[in-house]
Amino acid sequence: MSSTIGQVIRCKAAVAWEAGKPLVIEEVEVAPPQKMEVRVKIHFTSLCHTDVYFWEAKGQNPLFPRILGHEAGGVVESVGEGVTDLAPGDHVLPVFTGECKECAHCKSEESNMCDLLRINTDRGVMIHDGKSRFSINGKPIFHFVGTSTFSEYTVVHVGCLAKINPLAPLDKVCVVSCGISTGLGATLNVAKPKKGSSVAVFGLGAVGLAAAEGARIAGASRIIGVDLNSNRFEIAKKFGVTEFVNPKDYNKPVQEVIAEMTNGGVDRSVECTGHIDAMISAFECVHDGWGVAVLVGVPHKDAVFKTSPLNFLNEKTLKGTFYGNYKPRSDIPAVVEQYMNKELELEKFLTHEVPFSEINKAFDLMLKGEGLRCIIRMDA
């Protein structure tokens, strides 16, 4: 490894040249890490819906050519000036948001929304000098959310890397770096259901099932899964879901259905779709007096949340969360330990695997809605 320190590395990367067109495996040059940066050899990455969303570029500023990817596991190859808490050989998970450890948010016990490193989907360059570390024949290729893991090597700000147990299998724990932690933390860190309580989860994709997994770990006795796709109900049983509601099966609002099922409402709900109607239903279906609803899904920018203020006066609580309220460097290593201690089950999230050369197959699977997480092996 040491022979590459300080040198430009030539390696393979999957480049998105334009919106919605298949990624192309190209040879790219990856510059050495600069101040407070780390160069990482990616061993495994996986595809998250956010990658597809920005690849399609339907709802935001298109930025191409770009190397996507943000859910991954790898090993530090070299570190830049000023990096003291990581060294070559350390096992890390790159995270799309960061923790500088110095701003007001990082010093707060309540927030994980770092001023310096919180997610910025429009920025395609490194913070230090406003330049890309990727190029092809001298032409810069843009970064994506500070991670760009669809490359054999990538450069990441030290604050966006969680140092993890080197014994943890990277082909499993790579999914902790995004979707699984988002859903899991929404339940465990924000909703905080008590043992024996009832929890409703809206949306049974990977994030929603991670929220259900959190409810299972917390000891909830009833976990109600809500989804418009009844095909998802069978797999959801593996994640502790005990009952299912498809809103299409009823001619009244789903919040009323859930209230009838639960003698007035669930103790906690977690909304993982981003659809405004589901968000309102998730809030209105919790029990008065103590019910807490947590919003995870990202809505359309023009969406408006409408509900009666009486719901709040009747002591229902509405909360939002970002990345499950986990601080990447401080908290994510402990989530990996939950897996190592067999508290958190990750294997059931991993439904497909493809070699890096066939990365477009992972996009096809997600666009068809097949499976949960597709692992991409970088060495194949």
- Establish whether 50 is a catalytic residue: yes
How far is 91 from 132, CA to CA, in rounded Å? 24
Q: Which residue has the tokens 């991954």?
A: 72
How far is 274 from 298, CA to CA, in rounded Å? 5
The total of other beta-carbon atoms located within 10 Å of residue 358's CB is 14
- Establish whether 49 is a catalytic residue: yes
Catalytic pick among 66, 105, 106, 287: 106
- Establish whether 71 is a catalytic residue: yes
Catalytic pick among 43, 66, 70, 91: 70
Catalytic pick among 4, 77, 114, 154: 114
Catalytic pick among 45, 50, 147, 154: 50
Q: What are phi and psi of 181, to 5 degrees?
A: -65, -35
- Establish whether 103 is a catalytic residue: yes
Residue-wise burial string across 232-259, b where 16 or more C-beta atoms lie within 10 A, e elsewhere: bbebbeebbbbbbbbbeeeeeebbebbb
Catalytic pick among 100, 160, 285, 374: 100
Catalytic pick among 11, 29, 49, 317: 49
Catalytic pick among 4, 48, 154, 160: 48
- Establish whether 343 is a catalytic residue: no
How far is 294 from 191, CA to CA, in rounded Å? 6
Strand partners, 198: 222
Catalytic pick among 11, 29, 56, 103: 103
Catalytic pick among 39, 118, 133, 287: 118
Catalytic pick among 178, 272, 285, 374: 178
User: Of the candidates 281, 270, 276, which has an alpha carbon nearest to the alpha carbon of residue 311?
Assistant: 281
How far is 48 from 207, CA to CA, in rounded Å? 10
The secondary structure of 269-293, three-state, reads EEECCCCHHHHHHHHHCECCCCCEE
User: Of the candidates 362, 343, 345, which has an alpha carbon nearest to the alpha carbon of residue 353?
Assistant: 362
CA distances (Å), 304 to each of 60, 131, 298, 311, 341, in order? 19, 37, 12, 17, 42
* Cα torsion angle, 67, 271, 171, 99, sign: positive
Catalytic pick among 105, 222, 268, 373: 373
- Establish whether 174 is a catalytic residue: no
Q: Order the strands of the 292-295 sheet from edge to edge.
A: 243-245, 222-226, 198-202, 268-271, 292-295, 317-320
- Establish whether 272 is a catalytic residue: no
Catalytic pick among 26, 37, 71, 99: 71
Which residues participate in catalysis according to the annotation? Answer: 48-50, 70-71, 100, 103, 106, 114, 118, 178, 373
